Amino acid sequence: MLTTLAISGYRSLRDVVVELGRVTVVTGANGTGKSSLYRALRLLADASRGEAVAALAREGGLPSTLWAGPETISGSMRRGEVPVQGTRRTGPVRLQIGFASDSLGYAMDLGLPQRDVPTRFELDPEIKAEHVWSGPAPRPASMLAQRHGPVVTTRTDAGWEGLTHGLPSYSSMLSELADPARAPELLTLREQMRGWRFYDHLRTDSHAPARATAVGTRTPVLAGDGSDLAAAIATISEIGRGDTLAEAVDAAFDGSSLQVEAENGRFTLLLRQPGMLRPLRADELSDGTLRFLLLAAALLSPRPPQLFVLNEPETSLHPDLLGPLAAMVRAASEHTQIVLVTHSAPLASALGDDVTRIELVKELGETRVAGQGMLSRPSWSWPKR
């Protein structure tokens, strides 16, 4: 289970460290940094596939993703005594994202290329450092593997041993060097992070893949675009938590039930509703109904991931559906850790009391965690480059 998430220099997240629980609910007003926190987690998963630099490029590259405010915000700036202004930088430009878990932790540190090396990719982010450790926070004594520029070393019984001197600046040591014999901890971590699942704005428009009839194969994990919804629902009913799914659909849509029709190997999802002479096909369902079914298929997956991250799942759901959605999140949390970013106060409260709540607020353009002081902030110090 992930215990701490730390982000520094990423969009409005200048310096944020939060504790994660079994279920963590992230709330906050518009523009407070909720989606940025979601994206930061996704960047970590991208790093494990060697795709972090490309993902950052799609977001506009480092110049637009780096924190746009001053390196530090002084007390007098916070009190409004002096205007917010840039001060002489004391350190290099850095974007850092890391997490600790109850086994291994990982942090990556990205920056801009050094100007003395001529390149046409002068805005291309570079991975400057990466660290893997065991325990609750990065500490020199608990490091297991580290990367400084192109050089990667791992700790062995005999001390630090070099793995490579030539790792490209755009590759992560997780994706390139996860060698079961020489770097088993990198492999373990990589496989864990690759298994994290992210669902953000599942498509429900009239051309959404989830509305189409599709070839049905056993589908324990719903595709990110929902194109295998009918197969995923059929799989849950056959080998998974079919009862929980049926209860959720019954509670959400007043006595309705799901049915998957198979014809020549192609599956069509049907919703049978009381009072209707025929069930409705997926392409006839409303956006909110379809989104609820997509979330159900994702959350009740018979092959639960270590971590589920959901961004604003409540979009286009009627308030009446938030209770059943919260019930599914709780059911899913028996098998998986969940981070849920939401705008919806009713959803956040329907999740009950035993969840970790993080409320983000914005102060001088910077995301802060409401109610977090020096003492309640989880301990975290970024490893050196």
Ligand X SMILES: Nc1ncnc2c1ncn2[C@@H]1O[C@H](COP(=O)(O)OP(=O)(O)OP(=O)(O)O)[C@@H](O)[C@H]1O
Interacting residues with Mg ion (CB under 5 A): 34-35
Cβ distance to ligand X smaller for residue 27 or 171: 27
Q: How far is the CB of 200 from ligand X (least distance, A)?
A: 11
Residue 85 is a binding residue for ligand X (CB under 6 A): no
Q: How far is the CB of 366 from Mg ion (least distance, A)?
A: 17
Give the interface segment with ligand X, choosing from 32-40, 42-50, 188-196, 289-297 (CB under 6 A): 32-40
Q: How far is the CB of 32 from Mg ion (least distance, A)?
A: 9
- Select the residue interacting with ligand X from 20, 66, 285, 299 (CB under 6 A): 66
Q: Report H helices in 253-321.
A: 287-299
Q: Select from Mg ion, ligand X, none the partner in contact with residue 368, using the beta carbon and a kind-dependent cut-off of 5 to 8 Å.
A: none
For 136-157, b/e burial (b = at least 16 CB within 10 A) is bbbeeebbbbbbbeeebbbbee
Residue 3 is a binding residue for ligand X (CB under 6 A): no
Q: Report H helices in the chain.
A: 34-48, 52-58, 61-65, 75-78, 173-176, 184-194, 229-239, 242-252, 287-299, 322-332, 345-350
- Select the residue interacting with ligand X from 46, 51, 67, 108 (CB under 6 A): 67
Cα-Cα end-to-end distance for the chain: 26
Q: How far is the CB of 233 from ligand X (least distance, A)?
A: 29
Cβ distance to Mg ion smaller for residue 5 or 173: 5
Rounded Cα distance, 31 and 197, in Å: 24
Q: Report H helices in 118-241.
A: 173-176, 184-194, 229-239
Other residues' Cβ atoms within 10 Å of the Cβ of residue 104: 20
Residue 31 is a binding residue for ligand X (CB under 6 A): yes
Residue 292 is a binding residue for ligand X (CB under 6 A): no
Residue 211 is a binding residue for ligand X (CB under 6 A): no
Q: Select from Mg ion, ligand X, none the partner in contact with residue 197, using the beta carbon and a kind-dependent cut-off of 5 to 8 Å.
A: none
Per the DSSP assignment, residues forming a β-bridge with 143 are: 133
Residue 106 is a binding residue for ligand X (CB under 6 A): no
Residue 58 is a binding residue for ligand X (CB under 6 A): no
SS3 assignment, position 19: strand
Rounded Cα distance, 12 and 31, in Å: 9
Rounded Cα distance, 362 and 275, in Å: 49
Residue 34 is a binding residue for ligand X (CB under 6 A): yes
Q: Select from ligand X, Mg ion, none the partner in contact with residue 66, using the beta carbon and a kind-dependent cut-off of 5 to 8 Å.
A: ligand X
Q: Select from Mg ion, ligand X, none the partner in contact with residue 347, using the beta carbon and a kind-dependent cut-off of 5 to 8 Å.
A: none
Phi first, then psi, for residue 147 (nearest 5°) are: -130, 130
Give the interface segment with ligand X, choosing from 23-31, 155-163, 181-189, 348-356 (CB under 6 A): 23-31
Q: How far is the CB of 359 from Mg ion (least distance, A)?
A: 14
DSSP string, 135-156: SSS--GGGEEEEEETTEEEEEE
Answer for the pair 350, 321: CB distance below 8 angstroms, yes or no: no
Phi first, then psi, for residue 256 (nearest 5°) are: -80, 160
- Select the residue interacting with ligand X from 32, 192, 268, 337 (CB under 6 A): 32
Q: How far is the CB of 290 from Mg ion (least distance, A)?
A: 21
| Helix/strand number for the chain, H first, E second | 11, 18
Cβ distance to Mg ion smaller for residue 35 or 356: 35
- Could you list the residues that contact ligand X (CB under 6 A)? 11-12, 28, 30-36, 64-69, 343, 365
